[in-house]
Amino acid sequence: MRVGEKLPQLQGQMIQRTRRLQVWFIRVCSGILVWACLLQLVSVGEMWHPRLLTGLAGSTRMWVRVEDPLPSSPPPLVPAREYTSNGFLKVSCNGGLNQMRAAICDMVTIARLLNLTLVIPELDKTSFWADHSNFEDIFDLRHFIGSLRDEVRIIKRLPKKFSQRYQYQPLVMPPVSWSNEKYYLQQILPLFSKHRVIHFNKTDARLANNGISIELQRLRCRVNFQALKFTHEIEALGNKLVRIIQEKGPYLALHLRYEMDMLAFSGCTRGCSEEEAEELKRLRYAFPWWREKEIVSEERRSQGLCPLTPEETALILQALGFVNTTQIYIASGEIFGSERRLEALRATFPRIVKKEMLLGPEDIRLFRNHSSQMAALDFMVSVASNTFIPTYDGNMARVVEGHRRYLGFKKTIHLDRKRLVELLDLHQNGTLSWDEFSDAVRLAHERKMGQPAHRRIADKPKEEDYFYANPRECFCKSTSCDDLLGTGNKTIIEPDMIPKKGV
C-alpha cells in the first residue's frame, strides 16, 4: 500500500489514541480534584465542628454508622412566609434539656405572634450541669429553620450592624412569667420600635399554659413534635439503644430523679447519711438562684415535694403489680449514693439496665461530658418505652408525658407522691398490710395513667397543669377536645409488660 493511501488510516488511529488519552487524563484529574475537595472539607469541618466529618478522616466513629440506615432525603421546603419583620428576638435559654426545649417552642410562638425574626436560641452553659453544647450539637439546625419557614424567619446570627463589634447594645430583659398574648402585644411589641433587638435572658415558663389562641397552641406543638428533631448522630445512637432494649422484651422506663442537683434543690435528704445531707446543703447554698435555703426535709416529703427514694420506688412498683422479671431502664444521670442506693431496687428488680451498661465506651465517648446530649438519649428511650414512670414531676417527666400522649396516650403513670408517702409510712409502721397497701396504691393511680383529660386550670399559673405535659389542643380536631375524653384505659399493667420466660 502506498504512503498516500496509508496516511488517512494512520491519522484515524492517532485521533483515537488522542481521544483515549484525553478521557484517561480527565478521569485522573477528576479523581485528584474529588480527593482534594474531600480533604479540604475535612479540614474545614474539623475547624468548624470537630464531629461533623470525622468519619472521612478515618475516625473509629463514623458520622453515619454501618448498622444505622442512611438518612432519608429531606422533604421539600414549605413556601416561606413573607412578612415585614418588626425586629430581632435573641434568647438565652436556662435550665436542663427539656426546660430549654419547652422554652424554644414558646420563643418561636412569640416571634410568630409579634412578626419578629428569631435568632437561633443560645443554650444554657452555666447551670449545674455545665454543658457547653450549642443548639446544633443537639438539634438538627437545618431542619429546624426549614420546617418553620412558613411561620417565622429564623437566622443563625444577628446582622453585623447589630453586633457588639459595632457597639450595638440590645435591650436585655426577662419577660414576665406565665404571660398571655395581650402582654406580648401591648408591653413587648412597642419596645421593638426603639430597640431593634431585644434579648430575653430567661425563657423558662414565659408563656401561659392556658388562655392562648388555639393557633398559637398548635404552633407550640408543631415546634415540639416536628421541628425540634435531634441531630442524626443522637437519633442514630438513641434508636440503637432502643433496639438493644426491645430485643430483650418489653420495658419500663423509670425516670429516677434521685440525683444530686434535685436533692440539693429540693432539700430532700431521706435515706442520706449526715455527711451526704451536709454535702447537699453546701451545694444548695452555692447556687444563688436556688432561693430557699433552710429546708426541713421531712416537711417537704410529707407535702409530696420530694422525689421518691430508690427504696420507696421498689415498694411502689411492686404495689402497682410489676413482677420481678420486669425489664427496667433507669433514665437519669448519676444516682446520688451511686450503686449503694440502688441495691434495694436491684434486689427486687434484677433486670435493671442503664445506657452505660448497654452501649460500648466508644459509643458514648463523645456524649459523656455533655449532660444534655445524654439526656436526649434518655428522652428517646423513655418516649419509646411500654410504660413510663417518673419519680418526680420535673421538666423531663412532663415533656416525655406530653410526647407519649401525642403518640396515642401511651401509658404514663403519674405518681401521687403526697398520697404515696402517707401509704408508705402506714405500711412500714405496720398499720397497713401488704395487700391493703397495694390496693390503696393501685386505687390512687387508677386515673393517673396518661389518659385523655382536660388541663387543670388553677387560680395561680404555677399550680396549673403544664401545657407540654398535656398539649390536648394538638391532638384533637375540635377546640374543646371533648371528643378525646372517656377513651382512657384503666388497666394498671399492660399484658405485654410481663416478660415471657427466658426473655
**Band of the pLDDT at 457, cuts 50, 70, 90?**
confident
Q: Are 216 and 97 found together in one domain?
A: yes
Q: Does residue 222 form part of some domain?
A: yes
Find, among 367, 409, 358, the residue nearest to 387 by Cα. Answer: 409
Total domain count, the chain: 3
Q: Are 37 and 166 found together in one domain?
A: no
Query: In angstroms, how far is CA 277 from the centroid of its own chain?
Result: 30
Q: Does residue 72 form part of some domain?
A: no
Q: Are 59 and 92 found together in one domain?
A: no
The answer to whether the beta carbons of residues 209 and 220 sit under 8 Å apart is: no
Residues 182-199, mean pLDDT to the nearest whole number: 97
Residues 316-337, mean pLDDT to the nearest whole number: 93
Return d(Cα 304, Cα 414) in angstroms, integer: 13
Q: Does residue 320 form part of some domain?
A: no
Res 355: pLDDT: 93
Find, among 336, 191, 173, 314, the residue nearest to 254 by Cα. Answer: 314
Determine if residue 115 is left, alpha or beta; phi over 0 gives left, psi from -120 to 50 gives alpha, anything else beta.
Answer: left
> What does the DSSP 8-state code read for residue 52?
S
Q: Are 103 and 221 found together in one domain?
A: yes
Q: Are 14 and 112 found together in one domain?
A: no
What dihedral do alpha carbons 413, 415, 419, 423 form, nearest 10°? 80
Contacting residues for 463 by C-beta, under 8 A, at least 6 apart:
none
Find, among 180, 196, 192, the residue nearest to 106 by Cα. Answer: 180
How is 231-250 classified by DSSP, letter by letter? PHHHHHHHHHHHHHHHTT--
Res 36: pLDDT: 46
Give tens-digit pLDDT for 295-320.
Answer: 888 899 999 999 999 999 999 999 99
The answer to whether the beta carbons of residues 276 and 264 sit under 8 Å apart is: no
- Starting at the edge strand found earlier in the chain, the sheet holding 171-173 runs 153-155, 117-119, 88-91, 197-200, 171-173
Domain with 96, as residue range(s), is 88-227
Q: Are 22 and 130 found together in one domain?
A: no
> What does the DSSP 8-state code read for residue 458?
-
Q: Are 269 and 214 found together in one domain?
A: no
Single out the residue in 301, 333, 367 at which a domain terminates. Answer: 301
How is 165-197 classified by DSSP, letter by letter? GGT---EEEPPPTTB-HHHIIIIIGGGGGT-SE
Q: Are 106 and 192 found together in one domain?
A: yes
Prediction pTM value = 0.80
3-state SS of 309-377?
A: CHHHHHHHHHHHCCCCCCEEEECCCCECCHHHHHHHHHHHCCCEECHHHHCCHHHHCCCCCCHHHHHHH
Strand intervals (E) in 86-216: 88-91, 117-119, 153-155, 171-173, 197-200
Res 42: pLDDT: 35
Q: Does residue 417 form part of some domain?
A: no
Res 54: pLDDT: 31
Top pLDDT among 211 and 47 is at 211
Find, among 71, 81, 232, the residue nearest to 145 by Cα. Answer: 81
- Asked if the model's pLDDT at residue 28 lies above 90, the reply is no
Cα-Cα end-to-end distance for the chain? 87
Find, among 99, 222, 225, 212, the residue nearest to 457 by Cα. Answer: 212
Q: What is the average pLDDT value for the chain, to the nearest integer?
A: 83
Return d(Cα 497, Cα 412) in angstroms, integer: 13
Q: Are 143 and 184 found together in one domain?
A: yes
**Neighbouring C-alpha atoms within 13 Å toward the C-beta of 291:** 0
Q: Does residue 263 form part of some domain?
A: yes
Q: Does residue 125 form part of some domain?
A: yes
Q: Are 178 and 290 found together in one domain?
A: no
Res 74: pLDDT: 64
Q: Are 108 and 177 found together in one domain?
A: yes
Single out the residue in 284, 301, 318 at which a domain terminates. Answer: 301
Single out the residue in 227, 243, 269 at which a domain terminates. Answer: 227
Reading the block at residue 215, the C-alpha cell is 393557633
Q: Are 167 and 267 found together in one domain?
A: no
Res 332: pLDDT: 86
Return d(Cα 487, Cα 360) in angstroms, integer: 42
Q: Does residue 366 form part of some domain?
A: no
Q: Does residue 182 form part of some domain?
A: yes
